[in-house]
Amino acid sequence: ASEAEEKDLVIIGGGVAGYVAAIKAGQAGLKVACIEKRGSLGGTCLNVGCIPSKSLLNNSHLYHQILHDTKNRGIEVGEVKLNLEAMMKAKETSVSGLTKGIEFLFKKNNVEYIKGTGAFQDEHTIAVNLVDGGETSVKGKNIFIATGSEATPFPGLTIDEKKVITSTGAIALQEVPKKLVVIGGGIIGLEMASVWSRLGSEVTVVEYLGQIGGPGMDAEIAKQTQKLLGKQGMKFKLNTKVVSGDDSSETIKISTEAAKGGKEDVLDADVVLVAIGRRPYTAGLGLENIGLETDERGRLIIDQEYRTKIPHIRSIGDVTFGPMLAHKAEEEAVAAVEYLTKGYGHVNYGAIPSVMYTHPEVAWVGQNEQELKAAGVKYKVGTFPFSANSRAKTNLDTEGMVKFISDANTDRILGIHIVGPNAGEMIAEGTLALEYGASSEDVARTSHAHPTLSEAFKEAAMSTYDKAIHY
Ligand code: FAD
Ligand code: NAD
């Protein structure tokens, strides 16, 4: 190994948490190195997560729309054919453009990019097994662990990423499966189910809970979303637990039973997507060499300033607490660097938006009705359907609604939940409103351009404390 060089900051992991921290530290004038083993920067999100999935969601939606939704718009098309290989290529072009962009930003901000697997040798030294062969080591006055997460496997099913797949296989299938069974009706399950159902698969989603979308999604919105996805052809088995799978023959058998025990069933599948959540990834990191431990769910334990019990070692992103979201990882990266360089930083965990990129999209920020009920908070609700919004009507895209929840006494916004066209962009306004402590009246008295979908947002706010105009 070569002589270890000391940096102000060494970051293990070049995902969103790691690369953003590297850039911000470089901008602050720190000597910084970022170690990434994948061979390309951007982590799960850019390589096998957010970006490739959104490419496929966008293009499969277009394909589906051309097949089923052009005649009533006065557009007649000839034979429409799916070229899956070219669709995958388009995805790869988006991914490589963005991951290379980060390499450029590293150069611009004087970040040293070390391609290899890092492991703690001691509290300041990281040994690196280089991707291109050989070893090196690097010393850091400070170290950030940003090693992210991996798909949780399903006991008894062997992931081969071809027939039994995680999201990584689901964004790279070479043909459209005839029957796809999705275990887990969370965000990954529903986004990937959308892609393959639009491209022609018969999709069944099996979900343990009584609602789709995971517990963060407002129950009313989840119900409406399930109806809309059902209309697109997706089948759902809620309150149903997958108990075992048999992948020993061509057709995979998935055994289910009612969540509360009882009724059993067996589903046949050509491909099974395991989407039951993700778990923090720390394998091979050598945590045992420095005495760092994880909690019962594998998360690195940190304090308010992202410090582990060894204060110069911090941890951010999916590998530690909080929602496993790219923009959450980014906020933490900025805050952790600020704690280091300035002594203070800030992330408002109460105002981190969630978006599910199905069609229509689902987006929310703040608390949902079931959480507020459980907490005994008195609230009022205002809603507005897209079917009464002029732009949604002109676009022939009227499914869904906006829902505001405000404090019953003060009108302060507590949560905003949207299912509808462009919900993912619209939630930015809701997040800003929540961050600034706005009331629903503040939003309703703000002028929104006509004709835009955002008027549905304004009118939902208005209906929280008064009556909406158009509904
Ligand atoms: P990661 O992105 O996982 O990055 C960690 C990196 O560390 C990896 O590249 C890994 O190779 C590297 N690493 C690990 N150990 C070592 C080591 N010892 N040495 C060197 N390198 C190491 N979030 C959203 O907000 N929006 C979305 O639309 C979205 N879509 C998603 C779709 C899918 C299919 C998946 C799987 C996830 C999606 N996510 C989305 C979640 C998002 O990808 C993660 O929250 C985000 O990537 C977390 O960033 P991170 O930097 O903490 O971890
Ligand atoms: P998730 O936790 O959101 O959903 C998993 C679902 O599987 C849950 O609803 C759970 O009840 C269900 N489940 C678990 N075991 C089951 C069983 N045996 N039978 C039936 N159902 C079962 O996890 P995910 O969808 O895998 O996503 C992982 C992470 O990635 C999430 O934190 C998510 O936020 C993130 N992600 C975000 C986006 C986005 O922001 N658009 C997209 C993809 C992934």
CB 278 within 8 A of CB 219: no
Q: Is 446 annotated as a binding residue?
A: no
CB 24 within 8 A of CB 146: no
Q: Which of 121, 147, 166, 281 to mutate to test the pocket of ligand 1 (most atoms within 8 A of CB)?
A: 147
ipTM score of complex: 0.98
- Beta-carbon contacts of 39 under 8 Å, excluding residues fewer than 6 positions away, are 115, 131
Which ligand is closest to the CA of 280, given by its number? 1
CA of 259 to the centre of ligand 1 (A): 30
- For residue 315, give the 3-state DSSP assignment: strand
Annotated active-site residue 450? The verdict is: yes
Please tell me the distance from the alpha carbon of residue 4 to that of residue 416, in angstroms, as a whole number: 50
- For residue 95, give the 3-state DSSP assignment: helix
| Token pair recorded at residue 295 | 């909690």
CB 453 within 8 A of CB 393: no
Please tell me the distance from the alpha carbon of residue 216 to that of residue 200, in angstroms, as a whole number: 29
Q: Is 282 annotated as a binding residue?
A: no
The confidence score (pLDDT) of residue 262 equals: 81
- The ligand 1 atom at the shortest distance from the C-alpha of residue 316 is 52
Backbone angle region of 111, left / alpha / beta, with phi > 0 → left and psi within -120 to 50 → alpha = beta
Angle CA 69–72–75, to nearest 5: 80
CA of 31 to the centre of ligand 2 (A): 38
Q: Is 70 annotated as a binding residue?
A: no
Q: What is the pLDDT along the chain (471 residues), one digit of tens a residue?
A: 455 569 999 999 999 999 999 999 999 999 999 999 999 999 999 999 999 999 999 999 999 999 999 999 999 999 999 999 999 999 999 999 999 999 999 999 999 999 999 999 999 999 999 999 999 999 999 999 999 999 999 998 999 999 999 999 999 999 999 999 999 999 999 999 999 999 999 999 999 999 999 889 999 999 999 999 999 999 999 999 999 999 999 999 999 999 998 889 999 999 999 999 999 999 999 999 999 999 999 999 999 999 999 999 999 999 999 999 999 999 999 999 999 999 999 999 999 999 999 999 999 999 999 999 999 999 999 999 999 999 999 999 999 999 999 999 999 999 999 999 999 999 999 999 999 999 999 999 999 999 999 999 999 999 999 999 999
Is residue 201 within 6 Å of ligand 1 at its C-beta? no
Ligand 2, CB cutoff 6 Å, lining residues: 183-189, 191, 206-209, 214, 241-242, 275-278, 323-325, 355-357
For 196, 341, 354, the CA distances from 26, given in Å and listed in that order, are 41, 11, 29
Q: Is 165 annotated as a binding residue?
A: no
Q: Which of 68, 312, 450, 470 is an active site residue?
A: 450
Q: Which of 55, 57, 157, 208 to mutate to test the pocket of ligand 2 (most atoms within 8 A of CB)?
A: 208
Sequence length of the chain is 471
CB 239 within 8 A of CB 258: yes
Whether a cis peptide bond, with omega within 30° of 0, leads into 451 is yes
Q: Is the dihedral of CA 288, 294, 297, 302 positive or negative?
A: negative
The confidence score (pLDDT) of residue 4 equals: 59
CA of 419 to the centre of ligand 2 (A): 18
- The ligand 1 atom at the shortest distance from the C-alpha of residue 119 is 18
Give the max Cα distance, the chain.
Answer: 71
CB 294 within 8 A of CB 310: no
Q: Rounded to the nearest 10 degrees, what angle do helices 454-465 and 423-435 cross at? A: 50
Closest to 260 (Cα-Cα) out of 209, 211, 219, 189 = 209
- The ligand 2 atom at the shortest distance from the C-alpha of residue 326 is 40
- The ligand 2 atom at the shortest distance from the C-alpha of residue 278 is 28
Q: Which of 187, 278, 299 to mutate to test the pocket of ligand 2 (most atoms within 8 A of CB)?
A: 187
The confidence score (pLDDT) of residue 263 equals: 87
CB 175 within 8 A of CB 216: no
The gap from C-alpha 95 to its chain's centroid, in whole angstroms, comes to 16
What does the DSSP assignment read for 118-144? EEESSSSEEEEEETTS-EEEEEEEEEE
CB 278 within 8 A of CB 107: no
Q: Is 187 annotated as a binding residue?
A: yes
Q: Is 188 annotated as a binding residue?
A: yes
Taking CA atoms only, the protein residue closest to ligand 1 atom 53 is 148
Please tell me the distance from the alpha carbon of residue 101 to that of residue 155, in angstroms, as a whole number: 38
Which ligand is closest to the CA of 138, given by its number? 1
| Token pair recorded at residue 329 | 């990882």
In sequence order, which ranges of 240-351 are alpha helices (DSSP H)?
Answer: 287-290, 326-341
